[in-house]
Amino acid sequence: MTQAVQVAGAGFRPYEVRVGRGLLAEAAEQLGDLLGGRAVIVADGNVVATHARTVAAALQARGVAVSIIPVPPGEASKSWRGLETLCDALLAEGLDRRDVILALGGGVVGDLAGLAAALYMRGVDFVQLPTSLLAQVDSSVGGKTAIDTAAGKNMIGAFHQPRRVLADIDALATLPLRQLRSGWAEVLKHGLIRDAAWFDWLAAEGAAGAQGDVAALEPAVVRSVEIKAAIVSEDEKEAGARALLNLGHTFGHALEAELGFDETVMTHGEAVALGCTLAFRFSAAQGLCAAGDAMAAARAFDAAGLPTRLEGYGPLTAERLIARMAGDKKAEGGRLTLILARTIGDAFVQKDVDRDTVAAFLKAEGAR
């Protein structure tokens, strides 16, 4: 059974996130009202021979002309060069404003194709077809599109909302366990931000979702999308409540940058997991939340096979991590802004956090 979550806000056209099984094979029916011209599938190289062919066949059976543009897998594609290459390929296809771009893959393809759609002819329609858990529960919803630069992750981008999102639970069956766990980090994050009872379920009965159990994955995707949709509807462009979705990301992005965005060392989801546990432990160290809450958060990530400590990630220095954090998009005038917690389910934005205090905390956590 397909479930639909509405994403609506004052500043953008509302759209649906549809969650269910077999949605990619039903792409023509699910997207029929959006297909006025051709469809260009921008696909992660890992899914060209599988999911991309499924979607293309479904659309072609309904008389839709389809092209597939492969994108090399990995974070390195989210770059100036990757964006230029994709835009050149779209230009070579001769796309016009009746056509639609379908972003098929994980967060990298969704971010890259979404930004290209925002830029091409000053904005064309695109649809998110996320095939990773992380993309289904987080990056495909809300219209954030971006590339990485040497200065940091997601520093160049635009808000460009999709026309629709199809989250096909069956696509998750092809994921390696490590990628499933990485997506589960974002699922847990949503509970930590705004729904303590949901977090408790995820940490107990729902924990099998981190191992690929469909009975747990489907409600996990739906509830995560509901939480994110509610926040995006309040604040599309991160002027207020939407910043809460960055729980763990200021620490996590700094770690990713220091490790060279090397997903063999640390995936984005692993960075989020470690970042969330650091944010909760820092909150506890500052007397903002109970130590027991920080321990419960760490236990849930640890039980899912996700990192909760800095140890094992090479020589990390507090000074360099702080410098990375000061360059975060939420920072103001070089001053740190962190998403911290009062308790599980109650996160808040803390501006002007003292750098020396964070540095001392990071050293206590194992950084040099």
pLDDT in tens, 273-304: 999 999 999 999 999 999 999 999 999 999 99
Model confidence pLDDT, tens digit, residues 189-218: 999 999 999 999 999 989 999 999 999 999
Closest-CA residue to 308 (of 211, 185, 199, 173):
185
CA distance 35 to 31: 7
DSSP string covering 210-274: GGT-HHHHHHHHHHHHHHHHHHHHH-TTSSSGGGGGGTTHHHHHHHHHHTTT-TTT--HHHHHHH
Is residue 332 scored above 80 in pLDDT? no
CA distances from 107 to 113, 130, 210, 311 (A): 10, 7, 18, 27
Q: Where are the alpha helices (DSSP H) in 286-335?
A: 291-303, 318-326
CA distance 141 to 163: 10
Are residues 182 and 264 in contact, defined by beta-carbon separation less than 8 angstroms? no
CA atoms within 13 Å, Cβ hemisphere of 113: 31
Reported confidence tier of residue 151, pLDDT bands at 50, 70, 90: confident
Long-range contacts formed by 309-317: CB under 8 A, 24+ apart: 309/274, 309/277, 309/365, 309/366, 310/274, 310/362, 310/365, 310/366, 310/367, 311/366, 313/255, 313/259, 313/265, 313/266, 314/259, 315/368, 316/255, 316/258, 316/362, 316/366, 316/367, 316/368, 317/367, 317/368
Model confidence pLDDT, tens digit, residues 230-288: 999 887 777 778 889 999 999 999 999 999 888 899 999 999 999 999 999 999 999 99
What is the per-residue pLDDT for 164?
Answer: 97
Are residues 221 and 137 in contact, defined by beta-carbon separation less than 8 angstroms? yes
Burial of 119 (0-12, 13-18, 19+ CB in 10 A): middle
Closest-CA residue to 121 (of 45, 184, 52, 37):
37
Is residue 183 scored above 90 in pLDDT? yes
What is the per-residue pLDDT for 261?
Answer: 86
Model confidence pLDDT, tens digit, residues 1-37: 899 999 998 788 999 999 999 999 999 999 989 998 8
**DSSP tag of 332:** B
Are residues 338 and 289 in contact, defined by beta-carbon separation less than 8 angstroms? no
What is the per-residue pLDDT for 331?
Answer: 66
Please indicate whether residue 119 or residue 326 has the higher confidence score (pLDDT).
Answer: 119
CA distance 244 to 284: 18
Is residue 333 scored above 80 in pLDDT? no
Instruction: Show the CA angle centred on residue 7, arms to residues 343 and 137, nearest 5°.
Output: 55
Assigned token pair, 264 = 């063999």
What is the per-residue pLDDT for 84?
Answer: 97
**DSSP tag of 189:** H
DSSP string covering 95-148: --TT-EEEEEESHHHHHHHHHHHHHGGG---EEEEE-SHHIIIIITSS-EEEEE
In the chain, % of residues over pLDDT 70:
98
CA 346 to chain centre: 20
Query: What are 19's strand-pairing partners?
Result: 3, 167
Query: What are 104's strand-pairing partners?
Result: 43, 129
Give the residue-averaged pLDDT of 145-157.
89
**Which domains are delineated in the chain?**
3-174 (3.40.50.1970), 180-364 (1.20.1090.10)
Q: Which residue has the tokens 């023509």?
A: 28
Query: What are 128's strand-pairing partners?
Result: 103, 165
Q: Which residues belong to the active site?
A: 122, 144, 186, 228, 238, 242, 246, 249, 253, 268
What is the per-residue pLDDT for 199?
Answer: 96
3-state secondary structure of 207: helix
CA atoms within 13 Å, Cβ hemisphere of 2: 16
Is residue 129 scored above 90 in pLDDT? yes
What is the per-residue pLDDT for 330?
Answer: 67
Model confidence pLDDT, tens digit, residues 73-121: 988 999 999 999 999 999 999 988 889 999 999 999 999 999 999 999 9
